[in-house]
Amino acid sequence: MSTPDTSVHRLPNRGRYDRETIDAILDEGLVAHVGLVEDGHPVVIPVAYARDGDAVLIHGSPASRMLRTFKKGAPACLTVTLLDGLVLAKSAFNHSMNYRSAVLFGEMEEVSDLDEKYAALTLLTEALTPGRSSSLRPMTEKEVRGTTVLRMAIDAASAKVREGGPVDPDEDADFEVWTGVIPRVDTWGPAIPTNDVDVPDHVTGYRRA
């Protein structure tokens, strides 16, 4: 399969190609932005996803136009971006953002085998809410059959990482402007229950260190 050049062109020192960096970004994110081409036009749609070893899984309704397009072998791009902070320099020109992004190119492959689909859907639940799947009403065969699951190999992939403080040139030294980083933190508020069942640990402790 032909893929676009996956090398990071701009600011090449920010490019990373090791799987450890790419996997860490994929494992921390919850929402990916998936790109497809429709009648020659780009379309970008947010989706929940989960990494499954050397691949990323997405799922949805069999009626989804995006999933149907990918089932036919259309080329895909899947991007996950984590915003880590705002980088405030002395000039607008040198302002930046700290972020980590992973970009995957390739085609999606349908997961058709019922047992594999069951495992994939369980993994998606666990990736988004660790510890929850065993407490749930079990999936029915009808539900598993009624869900499309696609797998995209982590193959043609790259990451981009910007970290650290602002970089101001020496000639700006005399300008009295506060510089630094405002870090962004992913925070989860107290759970809002919709029934009276005791709140389980996987909810109270959700993404808390």
Among residue numbers 148 through 207, which ones bind a copy of itself (CB under 8 A)? Answer: 165-166, 172, 175-195, 197-200, 203, 206
Report the site for a copy of itself in 52-91 (rule: CB under 8 A). 60-61, 63-65, 75-79, 81, 83, 85-86, 88, 90-91
Cα–Cα distance between 146 and 150 in angstroms, integer? 13
Cα–Cα distance between 168 and 180 in angstroms, integer? 11
Q: How far is the CB of 20 from a copy of itself (least distance, A)?
A: 21
Q: How far is the CB of 172 from a copy of itself (least distance, A)?
A: 5
Could you give the 3-state DSSP secondary structure of residue 175? coil
Residue pointed to by tokens 């992939």: 157
CA-only gyration radius of the chain, Å: 20
Q: Give the tokens for residue 49.
A: 């996803």
Regarding 131 and contact with a copy of itself (CB under 8 A), the answer is no
Cα–Cα distance between 95 and 89 in angstroms, integer? 5
Q: Which of 12, 13, 39, 115 binds a copy of itself (CB under 8 A)?
A: 39
Q: How far is the CB of 101 from a copy of itself (least distance, A)?
A: 5
Q: How far is the CB of 87 from a copy of itself (least distance, A)?
A: 9
